[in-house]
Amino acid sequence: MKLLTIDTSTNTCSVALSCDGRLVGEYLLEMQRTLSERLLAGVELLLTGAGLTVQDMDGFGVALGPGSFTGLRIGIATVKGLALATGKPVAGFSSLAMLAMNLPWADALVCPMFDARKKEVYTGLYRCRELPEPVIPDCVLSPEAFLEQLDGPVIFVGDGAVRYRESIESRLGVRARFAPASVTQPRAAAGALLAEAEFSRGASVTAAALAPLYIRPSEAELARLQRNP
């Protein structure tokens, strides 16, 4: 199965090209702006380098969230366009589960953590085998509130863990471990394995059914709720 997988849930843009679970190529770039241009450039770079076209893909994978509202919209819209143009199916997956996959077969539970701003984090807790198994479902709340649910030992990974390291260490002490900087970014190569697992269990969807998992309402939704309580 030839699969093109995209992740834009954070300020790291990542695209992976895989074939039957084997990584053919990956594009990863941390950025603050021009996400849509860089994303399409990454897709073209990988496909051209592999001598393939979008039509050669058997399906597409995409991170559904949680994460950046703007980033998720761009990534999902791109995959929708590719899927509609080719008529190929799509499989979505959790961006936090994808980040947890940077630590396969860890001897402790893994806590992926994105900075959600507003003094909150997108986070969850996973038991990482070949694929991650959720122990605490993905959620958004203050680091302090989430840490109250943890005992330890726990391995923390992601930009949220970096930002709130002091709070984590204060709560868990030596029971808190921190992943090295080399694995703090989510990677579409890991997401490709999650997408393939979805395809294998028949959980793919059409482009029209693809929707982000925001967890937290957007600013526009909050404003609308305030106007119409």
pLDDT tens for each residue of 125-134: 999 999 999 9
**8 Å CB contact between 172 and 127:** no
List the beta bridge partners of residue 65.
94
What does pLDDT average to over the chain? 93
Handedness of CA 219, 220, 224, 227 (dihedral sign): positive
pLDDT of residue 37: 79
pLDDT of residue 226: 52
| Neighbouring C-beta atoms of residue 150, cutoff 10 Å | 19
Q: Is 16 helix (H, G, I), strand (E, B) or coil?
A: strand
Query: Tokens 């990974």 identify what position?
Result: 157
**8 Å CB contact between 62 and 210:** yes
**8 Å CB contact between 65 and 6:** no
pLDDT of residue 225: 45
pLDDT tens digits, 91-141: 999 999 999 999 999 999 999 999 999 999 999 999 999 999 999 999 999
In whole angstroms, give the CA distance from residue 137 to residue 126: 8
Handedness of CA 176, 181, 185, 188 (dihedral sign): negative
Tokens of 17: 């090209």
Q: What is the CA radius of gyration of the chain?
A: 18
Which run of H or of E encompasses 3? strand 2-7
pLDDT interval class at 218 (50, 70, 90): low
What is the share, in percent, of the chain residues with pLDDT greater than 90? 87
pLDDT tens digits, 161-208: 999 999 999 999 999 999 999 999 999 999 999 999 999 999 999 999
Nearest to 109 by CA among 135, 143, 142, 131: 135
